Amino acid sequence: MKTNRIIYWVATTIICAMMLFSAGMYLAQTEEVRGIFEDLDYPAYLVVPLAVAKILGVLMILWRQPNWLMNFAYAGFFFDFILASMAHYHEGESFAFPLAAMVFLLISYFFGKTART
């Protein structure tokens, strides 16, 4: 059980750090990120709402109450990583980072079921 808990917290810490870093970047360098979004064919107006959603998602994953909001946070991050992977692939860029994040997200989700009960 202790190993499961360590695996869960390492994966969760990595996911939360990645999401908070990207949300901070979205808020601190909004114009740059808008340009990147437009290059990837995403609407630029999504930058700030996505940053807020990432911050709220991290809070829900760490708080884990209520359960349905935690599941929405995991699902939101899942779709964020899928769409980021597809956008980078479409542009011919490396999509290894979003896929690696997806692995940590899935580890966090499935190990969280036993580690935090």
Asked if residues 55 and 23 have their Cβ atoms less than 8 Å apart, the reply is: yes
The CA-based dihedral angle spanning residues 94, 83, 13, 100, taken in that order and rounded to the nearest 10 degrees: -30
pLDDT digit string, tens, across residues 34-44 = 999 998 888 99
pLDDT digit string, tens, across residues 56-85 = 999 999 999 899 999 999 999 999 999 999
Asked if residues 87 and 99 have their Cβ atoms less than 8 Å apart, the reply is: no
pTM of the predicted model as reported, rounded to 2 decimal places: 0.92
Q: How far is residue 94's CA from residue 90's CA, in Å, rounded to a whole number?
A: 10
Return the DSSP state at 65. Answer: -
Asked if residues 27 and 48 have their Cβ atoms less than 8 Å apart, the reply is: yes
